[in-house]
Each structure stands twice: as C-alpha cells, then as structure tokens.
Copies of this chain bind each other. A is one copy, B any other.
Amino acid sequence: MNTFGKIFTLTTFGESHGAAVGGVVDGMPAGITIDTDFIQHELARRRPGQSHITTDRKEADQVELLSGVFEGKSTGAPIGFLVRNTNQHSKDYDSIRDLFRPSHADYTYYSKYGIRDHRGGGRSSARITLSRVVAGALAKLVLHQQGISIIAYTSQVGDIHLDGNYHNYDFNLIESNPVRCPDPEKAKEMEALIEQVKREGDTIGGVVTCVIKGCPVGLGEPEFGKLHALLGAAMLSINAVKGFEYGEGFAGSSWRGSQQNDVFLPANTTNQSSKPKAQSNHSGGIQGGISNGEDIYFRVAFKPVATLLMEQQTVNKEGEPITMDVHGRHDPCVLPRAVPIVEAMAAMTMLDALLISKTNRL
C-alpha cells in the first residue's frame, strides 16, 4: 500500500529520522531526457527551512538517482532514488516516546502495528512526501514534452482567501512570495497571518488550488478509474489533507443544472477539425470521468498541522494524563510547502492516466 499508480508507479520508503527517504519509480517511459537540476529544483520548493514561515529544520535534500538512467536518458528500467536524512534531532523526541500526541498518528500507528517509531513522526511524517516530489518531477518531464502543464498555488490561508477564479491570476507571480500565492496583496496578508500564528506557537490551515492545462481528450478510465477519482485519491493521500473538490465542487451543489451545464458552441466554420468547445467549463475539464480537453482545476483542503509549540494535555500509553511541551522545528502552516506536493501528485496521476489511455484502442 506504499505504491501509487498502475502503469507509472511510485513505491516509497523512509521515515523522518531513519537513514534515508526514497522510492522506486516504475513505468517511466524510455527515452526521456532526465534533467536532474529540475528534480533538485522541485525538491528545493518542498525543502524545509526555505523561508522564515516554514520549519527551521535544515536539510540539503540532495537526491541520488540510483538506476534507470543511462547517458542522461530514461531506459524504461525502474528509477531507484534516495535522499539521506542528515539533520535529525532525534533526541528532541525522547519525551514523546511513550505519549500519544493529539491528532497525530501516534496512537493509530501504535495500535495497528504494535510498535511505533516515535522519532519525528516516523513513517507518518510529512518528510516522506519528498519521494513524491522526485517522482512528480520525473512525471513532469514527460508531461512537459506532451504539452501538459500543472500549476498549483496557495489560494487560502486561514480566513484569507482569493476571491476570483484562477483565470484572474498571473501564475508567474506564484513563486514571487514565500506563501506561493499569485495575488501579491493577499500573499502579504497570508504571510503576516502565518507569522502571527507562529509567534503564538499555533498553526493554521488553508487551501491549494491546482490547474492542469494542455490535457488531451480521453484521459481517465470509467468506472472506477475516473480521472477526478484518481486525482482525488492522490490528493487525499497527502498528509493533512481533509477535502478535495473539482470543477464547481461543493459550491456547485446548490446550483441548478441549467446554470452548471457547459453548453457546446458550434464549431468554428473555418476550422472544422477543431474539437467542440463549450461556453463555460464548470465541469472542471472532466466529464463522465474522462478529460474533455479543457483546463482541469481542483481545490485541496489542508487542516492546520497538529504539532503546536505550546503546552498541550495528552495521555501516555497507560492512559495517564501528561502535559506535553513540544520544542522542535515545525511548520506553522504547511501550505507553502504543500504546493509542490500537490503538483507532484497531479503530475503522477496525469502521466499514469495518459499511459493507460494508450491501451484504449489499437
């Protein structure tokens, strides 16, 4: 259950304070130029300590590709990779060895497996998502060649949220601020809010919006491989995610059909070969579980991280009350670093769907 995908797959391993975090990418199409700088660049976007509003843990997060690449190109063989953990402060966690931290996976892991690596959250740590970023970067290299782009950004932090839809924003501004929000004014407000909750030892949630452009018609496999179901499963597998919606999502539940339907426009008379175009895209680029060639867009809800830098009440394995006072290095808000993870999961999902769609007809 540590494998994602069907044809293009990622199998991951690693814990926060173990020797390394890594994985195996299988099903990478052969002949793709592997730009290792790009992979490292994507990791840098997820890296801890990248700004004053993320955790202070410093990690170079240098990836080593161990196989599957020959003379700069993918060979079709699996790509093994790892990132060594170098800056663990395992001692910081001695005090929680026998505790169950509130809203963490401590209790559930311990109950399920009868054993738990308590150091830094072990396997349940968000650190293990770096494997996804590596695999996502590989997928992006293929998708880029196919004209498919995937862009995510922070659209909400706490109560501060973007008002318009994605068309209103200049995606070039996303990386211009540490929050990864394409609205510079809102970005400043979000940053200030994150700084405030950090000062208070608290945390705050938010929403990431993701847009996929250039997707061909025909990706997604009904009945259980619907493209949005695959995207949803991918997003919900990210740590701290509590919700997923695409197209008009939850808000569209209160609409009427006559408002939400995307009415087709007649084909351009001078361009008979063009595919039908609708006057709107409330569907979010997917109809009947299959991409229709329009932009795919969706939103992902993140809860506030559970680790607080303040006193909390909890219990130990014996059920005895304990006052817990965590000192460590934690993100007050995961949103900025979640953006590349959302993109990575979307990229893997799209590439897998693209490859599977090659088998629909001979």
Contacts and interface: CB of A to CB of B under 8 A. Distances in A.
A64 B275 CA distance: 37
Of A13, A156, A246, A254, chain B has the most CB atoms within 10 Å of the CB of A13
B256 A109 contact: no
A257 B70 contact: no
Interface stretch (A17-25, A35-43, A47-55, A164-172): A17-25
Nearest to A243: B245
A340 interface: no
A100 interface: yes
Nearest to A258: B202
A275 B225 CA distance: 37
A60 interface: no
A301 B284 CA distance: 14
Given A115-B73, A221-B1, A288-B109, A303 B203 contact: no
Which of the four size classes fits the interface of chain A? 35 or more
A304 B255 CA distance: 7
Contacts of A104: 287-288
Interface in A94-116: 100, 102-105, 107-109, 111-116
A67 to B, nearest CB: 4
Interface in A170-214: 197, 202-207
A336 interface: no
Contacts of A207: 250, 253
Closest 9 CB pairs of A and B: A105-B288, A267-B319, A13-B80, A243-B245, A1-B225, A1-B221, A203-B257, A108-B290, A233-B233
B250 A245 contact: yes
